[in-house]
Amino acid sequence: MESEGETGAKATKNLGGHVCQIYGDNVGKSIDGEPFIACHVCAFPICRPCYEYERKDGNQSCPQCKTQYKRHKG
């Protein structure tokens, strides 16, 4: 049986690559063709425009876990 923490992490990772949790748009793909993941710590799903806004005009960090964003290719 999984602990509550494991279940929550898997649920978040399952959302990655689908719907932006801020804008509600499709998250889209990275330049490698994989689902775009802005935060590699918690995989909170946001689209590239939201990621770019956060990097330029926002807090430069993940809205969920507050990890500072790293620059993505492309």
Domains and CATH numbers, the chain: 4-56 (3.30.40.10)
Q: Per-residue confidence of the chain (74 residues) as pLDDT tens digits?
A: 444 444 344 344 444 447 999 989 899 988 888 888 999 999 999 999 999 999 999 999 999 999 998 877 65
pLDDT score for 1: 46
Amino acid identity, position 48: R
User: Distance between CA atoms of 15 and 13, rounded to whole angstroms?
Assistant: 5
pTM value? Answer: 0.67
